[in-house]
Each structure stands twice: as C-alpha cells, then as structure tokens.
Structure 1
Amino acid sequence: MRVRRALPAQLVATGANHLVRFSQAFDAPATDLIAAACHMSLEGIIAKRQ
C-alpha cells in the first residue's frame, strides 16, 4: 500500500492543484472519516479498504 501511495503523494506535493489534498493513512471507521470530512467542510473523500 505504501508504494502505491507514493506516486499520488508526489503529484499532489508539487502544488499544481491546491484543491486536492493527500492525507496520511487513517485506521478509523468510515463513519468517523465521513464525520471529520463534513466537520472540515470538505466536498468528499476518496478511500480504499486495506
């Protein structure tokens, strides 16, 4: 999983698009992640099960 996250992390880190954020990996229930995204007024999240 770490290797697959490396390329997108590098692309986002270039700062070409300030609207996209690349976060750390979270070990939390999906409901908690969605609640946190709503609290931060984010438009959405993209997630994948490990």
Structure 2
Amino acid sequence: MVNLIWTAVVVLIILWLLGFSVSIGGGLIHLLLVLALIGIVYNLLTGRRV
C-alpha cells in the first residue's frame, strides 16, 4: 500500500511539472500539487513506526 501511495505521488508531481511546460490546465496544475503533498503527508503520518 505504501508503494502505491509513493507511485501516485510521483505520477502527480510529474503531471504537475508537465502542466507547467505545456501551460494547460490552469487550476488543475495546482490541484495535482496539492494532491501530491497530501499523499506525502499521509505517508509520513501513517508510515512504518519503530
């Protein structure tokens, strides 16, 4: 499950970067960034505990 979250985060960040280079999507670009950040925070909070 953790690998799936990291994969989704990486894909969202790549799409966000592509959105800047192609200049399409407007608000969608920022939505992708927010979703990627939420995924990172979720993974950090629910990650493996020692």
Of structures 1 and 2, the one with the larger relative CO (CA 8 A, separation 6+) is 2
Q: TM-score, normalised by structure 2?
A: 0.36
Higher helix residue share = 2
